[in-house]
A and B are shown apart, each in its own frame.
Chain A
């Protein structure tokens, strides 16, 4: 654990809604250039964790250090200015704006080379290029997801959170999108935290993984280690009735 290079460090985090913790005692870190997968069945608290990192949900106890500073849920918009990008589960696109306008909003005005960021995002997701003047609401599900990812990339984030990229998408599209995350981490030293329901696929691109269930961490380890323990993975997804399977 090379503390100094950690882009994100979560310590003993409790978080949830209306004072009721959904996530309990979570410890997690993401280092530079690393892809980390956060796994677990629905309702495990994965999305809640990401939203808390972005400052959209207040911390109940514990702490989150992201990009060198403690997360402040009173001013969540400052997180993006520090270099955090978050592809939300609902994609949070602006359907009435064009693809180009959506991407422009991702650019940080205080950075130089704005156009370069735009260009780089389109290079990574060339399928978007012919669609730049189309309204985001008219894109297909896969195209919308690409746009959400591209919009996160144009700001050239130091830390990228991706929530359920594969949600509602055909496997063939997921297969195209996930490796992009790997490329970003490799090329720009961006730290990436992905929440994913396609476990194997996620571990395939990730360096390390965490598995949550019912709000608590139940497994962690390198991607290889987790893939070897397929039985445990299945157990945590299919309700932990391992004995039942004989």
Chain B
């Protein structure tokens, strides 16, 4: 009975996953885009709602409430001279009224959601409609990061505790002794479930019975056919974006009494699983999938309270692993080994030229870093090593995403796994530093050995993850790996029985000694961070990583990687073992990610699993894409641009009032523009001025062979 109660308790969460899943299906059918920003739309709408209603201020009070904030920020800061020029700033806040009624607040919030949907279509996905998959994924990831940053700027970083409205409140009486199970069910649960069923069914009916719905289904299946019959696929796509966003906004408002707006952003993960249950095209399938995932996860969490449940499977992990499991099962059994005819070769991939003289570049790079290290103060030295660390990690994305074309979002978690494994293996049960709260049990391996083992562990996990990837490709891989990020954090990183006492809270990092040299970033004597020996250590790691990547690109495997990225069918026909080559790519990428994890462990004295949350990983992907996903130089530019990197630190130092949220928002915009304009070749290739060549090739083609030799058959003649 108790198990069954778990299922009922999951109806509330299931309702959110279901409606978000339905929204994802709507957007996908309308435009073929899997929208990673879908949860962020719900979050922004929920923030808008709470700001309008202002029922509880929570910890953060911006003003008296009653305003809406348009989904952008004022790019013109109020610096002295700009202020003096009387430049009109971009309007952001619009005051409506104090304490608006529920209907008005709901209407305005949903209008905001619709507006965001419209903007996403016009500004991002319409321009990207013929772009390669990676650009579309990056576009939607960019929107997600953008909305998160703008919500941060407009509504403050704090969470909101909103009591909700009508029956959808946290103060609702619980249903006591639910169905005689001797447990109390939260009062709003059944209302949420019914509301979701009604919304879901209404959406289904809209697509089932109206001409608009018919046309959408038709255009989804065969865009050419719909165009020939007089339907504009782009108009349909725009309408579907609006509907999708309104659905997300609606469930955001209904659920706000249970979860703060920022939480919604990651609800996109179970929602994606729900949408996959519906094969991304069935609304009823997504609805059922959402409820199913909510209920299964709740049952699993319920089960962890039993005595017989193994201690090493924490309840959070069970909750977040449920969607991953559902996704992998659905995709693995539906996926085909090779894409069918006609589905390959959409859009042009970013070019991946190779460095002719990587050693020269390496020498210059080392020289610059050593010079900087000598000039910089401790703070700047820290920025320098953050940059190196970012570059190290981004190299793993260069191999996997840039060369092999596999959009995996899980690599940063592998860095985390290496970091955690290293901490566990090198610990010996004593406190490392005087300031540490706790000591971690462990075998106490010497540092180089522990590091090596940690990297190998990351490679093994990475290759294991690649096995489903052999059958799951394209954007679906991105979906599954995003879910895996959340699951790895809860299941492996925050797993104290497995990873040691500090895994879920604060993990004290080792004080590394490699062959007699202290290579950690913290100087024990002076307590200054980023002791120069660490800088050199990190530099050596990055140099090794950079050489591996550059050499790989020049070698046999690099060519095979690009061949697979370009066309798996043709690669197989050319005798390339696609499965094996992909696994090698995942392995090499995981090796580089593991090395980045070692650098993280040696840099900070204590670390929490927050450091490896999905947004950090997505941020890295975003910035390496901005720098250039296909080259070593791109990773270097990406590292300089990324949060905490030299360029962004320089920005925040010299322009007062620029916060990290600004940098992220600007970065996200840059990302989207980069996806649209340079197709991911990024700053690096732009600087080498090759982009001009490319546009030249695309515009004017070399003369057609037909024009040269065009005489027609001598035996044929005109009759008329």
Give chain A's interface residues, CB within 8 Å of chain B.
Answer: 18-21, 24, 54, 56, 75-81, 85-86, 88, 90, 92-97, 101-102, 104-106, 108-109, 151, 155, 211, 213-221, 225-226, 229, 232, 235-236, 240, 242
Q: Out of A79, A81, A94, A221, name the residue touching B222 (CB < 8 Å).
A: A94
- Nearest CB of chain B from residue A202's CB, rounded to whole Å: 16
Prevailing SS type, chain A contact patch: mixed
A214-B712, A240-B713, A240-B715 given as contacts; is B720 within 8 A of A220 (CB)? yes
What are the 3 closest A-B residue pairs judged by CB atoms, nearest first? A80-B230, A92-B225, A221-B719
Closest to A90 in B: B224
**Interface status of B53 (Cβ within 8 A of chain A):** no
Among the stretches B138-146, B210-218, B317-325, the one at the interface with A is B210-218
- Nearest CB of chain B from residue A148's CB, rounded to whole Å: 9
- On chain A, the residues within 8 Å of B232 by CB distance are 75, 77
B716 close to A218 (CB less than 8 A):
yes
Prevailing SS type, chain B contact patch: loop
Among the stretches B96-104, B308-316, B700-708, the one at the interface with A is B700-708
Closest to B222 in A: A92
- On chain A, the residues within 8 Å of B214 by CB distance are 97, 101, 104-105
| Interface residue ranges of B466-496 to A (CB < 8 Å) | none
B224 close to A151 (CB less than 8 A):
no
- On chain B, the residues within 8 Å of A155 by CB distance are 229-230
- Nearest CB of chain A from residue B468's CB, rounded to whole Å: 27
Closest to B699 in A: A19
- On chain B, the residues within 8 Å of A90 by CB distance are 224
A97, B710: Cα distance in complex, Å: 45
A93 close to B222 (CB less than 8 A):
yes
A96 close to B221 (CB less than 8 A):
yes
Closest to B224 in A: A92
Closest to A75 in B: B232
A242 close to B230 (CB less than 8 A):
no
B225 close to A218 (CB less than 8 A):
no
Q: Out of A151, A213, A216, name the residue touching B229 (CB < 8 Å).
A: A151
A77-B227, A92-B224, A240-B716 given as contacts; is B706 within 8 A of A215 (CB)? yes
Q: Out of A81, A105, A109, name the residue touching B226 (CB < 8 Å).
A: A105
> Could you show 26 A-B contacts with beta carbons less than 8 Å apart?
A19-B699, A24-B710, A76-B227, A77-B227, A77-B232, A88-B225, A94-B217, A94-B221, A94-B225, A95-B221, A97-B214, A97-B217, A97-B218, A97-B221, A101-B214, A105-B214, A151-B229, A155-B229, A213-B713, A214-B706, A218-B712, A218-B713, A218-B717, A219-B718, A225-B719, A240-B716
Instruction: Pick from A56, A77, A78, A93 the residue with the most CB of B within 10 Å.
Output: A77
A226, B720: Cα distance in complex, Å: 10
A54, B225: Cα distance in complex, Å: 11
- Nearest CB of chain B from residue A89's CB, rounded to whole Å: 10
A216, B222: Cα distance in complex, Å: 30
- On chain B, the residues within 8 Å of A21 by CB distance are 704, 706-707
A101, B214: Cα distance in complex, Å: 7
A216, B265: Cα distance in complex, Å: 57
- On chain B, the residues within 8 Å of A240 by CB distance are 713-716
A232, B422: Cα distance in complex, Å: 80
Instruction: Pick from B217, B221, B227, B228 the residue with the most CB of A within 10 Å.
Output: B228
A189, B209: Cα distance in complex, Å: 34
- On chain B, the residues within 8 Å of A236 by CB distance are 713, 716
A215, B112: Cα distance in complex, Å: 52
| Interface residue ranges of B666-720 to A (CB < 8 Å) | 699-701, 704, 706-707, 710, 712-720
- On chain A, the residues within 8 Å of B537 by CB distance are none
A24-B710, A214-B712 given as contacts; is B218 within 8 A of A94 (CB)? yes
A81, B713: Cα distance in complex, Å: 40
